[in-house]
A and B are shown apart, each in its own frame.
Chain A
Amino acid sequence: MKRSFIEAVIAVFNRAKNSLALLAVMVLALLTISLFYLFMSSKDLIADNIRHELLIEGKINSLSEDNYLAKLKNEDIQAYIADIQNIYKSLDEKYDTAYTMSMELNAENSEVFKLWALDSAMNASGYSLGESDYSEDNLKIFVKEGLNIGNQELKKGDKLSFFQNNGERLDFSIAGFFSYDERYSALGDNLYPDDVDLFADKEVLYAYGTYEDNLEMSNLYIYLKGSDNKEAIIKDVEGSLAALQEYDIEASFIIDESHVRAIEENIAGIGNLYLIFAFMMLILISILLLAFNLYDLRKRFREMGIFIALGNTKSELFLRLVIEKTILLLLAFIVVIPLFNILARQADILILDSLSSAYLQMQKTLDVSIMNMSLAGLSSLRSTEIKDLIFIYLSFAFMNYFYLALSYLGLCRQKTVSLLKD
């Protein structure tokens, strides 16, 4: 075994050109298979994300969902705009005091990420990102206490990844958690008629806003139910928001099944193209690998004949070839893993671009904002996906060994004399 290993190492490194060529074919094959898998799994992952969002949003907005869906089907844009206006009117009726407070944005501090505040949005997902032009270094985020992503409770120091509309991925570290008094609620820009009911039991509503006339300043709007305890509430809100003054909190929006289906169809369309391409590549790669195995061993008939003439058994020779193949496979895996990581990121962006176009199209058609889905997590594969990839890579290795065995059967059919004449 030791001798076979040493000779296999010599063969791999001394036959550098052949080894490199075989390695290149293997790397190409593995990348194709990995990307094929990525497209397959990303389709499911995106759909899962959408359903996850819908589930939580649906719960939060259970009061408004039916009406909202009906509205979308009617596509009565004018009525919709009127409804929006009614929301604010309703707010004015229900909340008798509006208080505006200016806050300085700490835009220069690259360590701090500014979020737009909307706690229902944070409950819903907390990982969409509509804006761009964020600093890329050392980004931190505060999230609402108890926020779960994928049924997993977030902890301080956990990473959250976001994609911006420009496809750029940003990684945030959770700096801390915030919680609101149950009587308070943040108010977002994108409200739907029945959302007001959500706030029925809230005593304080507040919202941030930044206006073009002064981008450096953010206004805090506070709506109060009754004015008896105005000063105490303002103080309380200011206090609870003090820690958040340096942060923006991202807003998220209501989505519904029709959106999900539209997005899924869009993804399926994109995915199918990739799948067809990847499937064809797989067949080609498979043929190429078999051909390369046959060709490589055919070129080594004489060498095999010499080893037999020196007293090697055919099984010893096969063992050496298996070890050679194993070394090359290991090298291929070492090359493929970082390469695939880079390619996966690019693929994320590719899909995201397509999705962004789809969102824009839908926003135009439906005149509603649709949450930007985060594809983060595709390139940083989840543990289940890593398990799948390990299985795929092992299958690939098995395929290589199978092709080697097939090629070797061809060698075994030859007379030793014929091998030496080759």
Chain B
Amino acid sequence: MMKEILQAFNIAYRVNDGKNVKVLFENCSLSFDAGKFYCLLGESGSGKTTFLHLLAGLDKPDKGHILYRGKDIQEIERNNYLRDHVSIIFQDYNLIPYMNVYQNIAAAMAIKKLPYTKESIAEMLKKVKLDTDIMFKRINLLSGGEKQRVAIVRALVGNNDIILADEPTGNLDSDTAKEIIALLKTAVYKQHKTLIVVSHSELVAESGDVVYILDQKIKGFVPKS
């Protein structure tokens, strides 16, 4: 069985803001093994989130390939890849604002064609230490920590074996951040998922099995020494 679940191979990516062209990645390659917690560190604006989007298939590299289990994700239907293999936790949660907690999670489960009940969703909320009373609360009435937990529940539904998280603790206080990291780690190890987190937080870095730093000179990732 292939060890690497996800690979970035010779990735090149440039950003054109209309005035300048900024090279974010040049011949950048990186491999991720199944069942591990990866942390990608880098300064703000260095391109960490862009790299995560490339891994998620939300954006395309100028050059190079993203391989999922050895297959270029461009060859996999994007919606299949996003629906069945990869879940994303966004920095600003990206929950559907007009839906309540239940509807947000139910929508994700429906897209993945998974059966769900109020009880099953309540059970998932309990696992991330969320009171089931919030189930029918609108998203905009939740605190940052609650939103992030809901986003985690949404990412964990189904059998997606890769979880991509963009600054999952960025908007949280340190205690909540620790709890969120612990939750993610539990999910990774229990369910044998691969967690790839981009962050500039040392707290997150300390938790990772493997930590890479985005080196702006070589326009790629290097292992943290």
A residues whose Cβ falls under 8 Å from a Cβ of B: 3, 6-7, 10-11, 14-15, 302-303, 305-313, 415-417, 420
Smallest Cβ-Cβ distance to A312: which chain B residue: B111
Cα A310 to Cα B83 in complex, Å, equals: 6
Decide: A10 and B111 in contact? CB cutoff 8 A. no
Known contacts A309-B94, A417-B53; 4 additional CB pairs below 8 A are: A10-B98, A14-B98, A310-B108, A311-B79
Closest chain A CB from B204 CB (angstroms): 21
Instruction: Chain B residues near A416: list those with CB within 8 A.
Output: 58-59
CA distance A282 to B84 in the complex (A): 47
The A/B interface has a contact count, at CB < 8 Å, of: 60
**Contact B94–A420 (Cβ < 8 Å):** yes
Residues of B within 8 A of A15 (CB): 98
What are 21 pairs between A and B in contact, CB < 8 Å?
A3-B110, A3-B111, A10-B98, A11-B98, A14-B99, A15-B98, A306-B96, A309-B56, A310-B82, A310-B83, A310-B107, A310-B108, A310-B111, A310-B112, A311-B82, A311-B83, A312-B79, A416-B58, A417-B58, A420-B58, A420-B90
Contacts of A417 in B (CB 8 A): 53, 58-59
Assembled-state Cα–Cα distance A14/B88 (Å) = 25
Pick from A3, A310, A417 the residue with the most CB of B within 10 Å: A310
Given the known interface contacts A306-B94, A312-B111, the answer about A10 and B79 at a Cβ–Cβ threshold of 8 Å is no
Residues on A with beta carbons closer than 8 Å to the beta carbon of B84: 311
Give the size category of B's interface with A.
20 to 34
User: A residues within 8 A CB of B79?
Assistant: 308, 311-313
| Across-interface contacts of B186 in A (CB, < 8 A) | none
- Flag B53-90 by CB within 8 Å of A: 1 or 0 each: 10010110000000000000000000110111000101
List chain A residues, Cβ under 8 A from B110.
Answer: 3, 6-7
Q: Decide if A10 touches B99 in the complex (CB within 8 Å).
A: yes
Across the A-B interface, give the 10 residue pairs with the lowest CB-CB distance, nearest first.
A311-B83, A14-B98, A311-B82, A3-B110, A313-B79, A416-B58, A417-B59, A306-B94, A311-B111, A15-B98
Enumerate chain B residues within 8 angstroms of A415, measured Cβ to Cβ. Answer: 58-59
* B57 (CB) vs chain A CBs: closest residue: A416
Task: Report B's interface with A, CB cutoff 8 A.
Answer: 53, 56, 58-59, 79-80, 82-84, 88, 90, 94-99, 103, 107-108, 110-112, 154
A311 and B112 within 8 A (CB): yes
Residues of A within 8 A of B88 (CB): 309
Bound state CA distance, A309 and B90, in angstroms? 10
Asked if B80 and A311 sit within 8 Å, CB to CB, the answer is: yes
Contacts of A7 in B (CB 8 A): 107, 110
Q: How far is the CB of A65 from chain B (nearest CB, A)?
A: 71
Among candidates A3, A11, A302, residue contacting B94 with C-beta atoms closer than 8 Å: A302
Complex Cα–Cα for A11 and B53 (A):
27
Q: How far is the CB of B81 from chain A (nearest CB, A)?
A: 8
Contacting pair B99 A309 (CB below 8 A): no
Given contacts A416-B59, A417-B59, contact A307 B98 (CB under 8 A): no
Q: In the assembled complex, how far is the CB of residue B52 from the closest CB belonging to chain A, in whole angstroms?
A: 10
**Across the interface, which residues of A come within 8 angstroms of B97, CB to CB?**
303
Q: Shortest beta-carbon distance, A20 to chain B, in Å?
A: 13
Indicate which residue in A6, A303, A311 contacts B96 across the interface (CB closer than 8 Å): A303
Q: Using Cβ atoms and an 8 Å threshold, which residues of chain B touch A309?
A: 56, 58, 82, 88, 90, 94
A305 CB contacts on chain B under 8 angstroms:
94
Q: Which residues on the A side are within 8 Å of B107 (C-beta)?
A: 7, 307, 310
B79, B97, B110, most chain A CB atoms within 10 A: B79
How far apart sit A11 and B79, CA to CA, in the bound complex (Å)?
21
Complex interface: chain B residues within 8 A of A306 (CB): 94-96
Q: How far is the CA of A125 from the CA of B214 in the complex (A)?
A: 91
Give the shortest distance, in Å, between B51 (CB) and chain A (any CB): 12
For B53, B59, B98, B112, the residue with the greatest tally of chain A CB atoms inside 10 Å of its CB is B98
Contact of B82 among A6, A14, A308 (CB under 8 A): A308
Distance in Å: Cβ of A299 to nearest Cβ of chain B: 11
Give B18 Cβ to nearest chain A Cβ, in Å: 14
For the complex formed, measure the closest distance between the CB of B40 and the CB atoms of chain A, giving whole angstroms: 17
Q: In the assembled complex, which residues on chain B have CB atoms less than 8 Å from the CB atom of A307? A: 96, 107, 111
Complex CA gap A145/B108 in Å reads 71
Q: Which residues of B contact A310 (CB under 8 A)?
A: 82-83, 107-108, 111-112, 154
Nearest A residue to B88, CB-CB: A309
Q: Measured between C-beta atoms, what is the minimum distance from B68 to chain A in Å? A: 14
What's the minimum C-beta distance from B157 to chain A, rounded to whole angstroms? 10
A81–B108 alpha-carbon span in the complex (Å): 88
- The complex places the Cα of A420 from the Cα of B110 at a distance, in Å, of 21
Chain B residue at smallest Cβ distance from A314? B79
A3 to B108, CA, bound (A): 11
Among candidates A10, A311, A420, residue contacting B103 with C-beta atoms closer than 8 Å: A10
B residues near A313, Cβ cutoff 8 Å: 79
Q: How far is the CA of A15 from the CA of B96 in the complex (A)?
A: 11
Q: How far is the CB of B107 from chain A (nearest CB, A)?
A: 6
Specify which chain A residues have a CB less than 8 angstroms from the CB of B56 in the assembled complex.
309
The closest CB in chain B to the CB of A11 belongs to B98
Residues of B within 8 A of A420 (CB): 58, 90, 94
Chain B residues contacting A3 (CB-CB under 8 Å) are 110-111
A306–B96 Cα distance when bound, in Å, is 8
A303 to B96, CA, bound (A): 6
Q: How far is the CA of A302 from the CA of B79 in the complex (A)?
A: 17
What separation, in Å, do the CA atoms of A417 and B84 have in the docked complex? 19
Q: Whole-angstrom distance from the CB of A208 to the nearest CB of chain B?
A: 70
Shortest C-beta distance, B25 to chain A (Å), equals 15
Q: Which residues of A contact B58 (CB under 8 A)?
A: 308-309, 415-417, 420
Chain A residue contacts of B108, Cβ below 8 A: 310
In the complex, A416→B58 CA distance in Å? 6
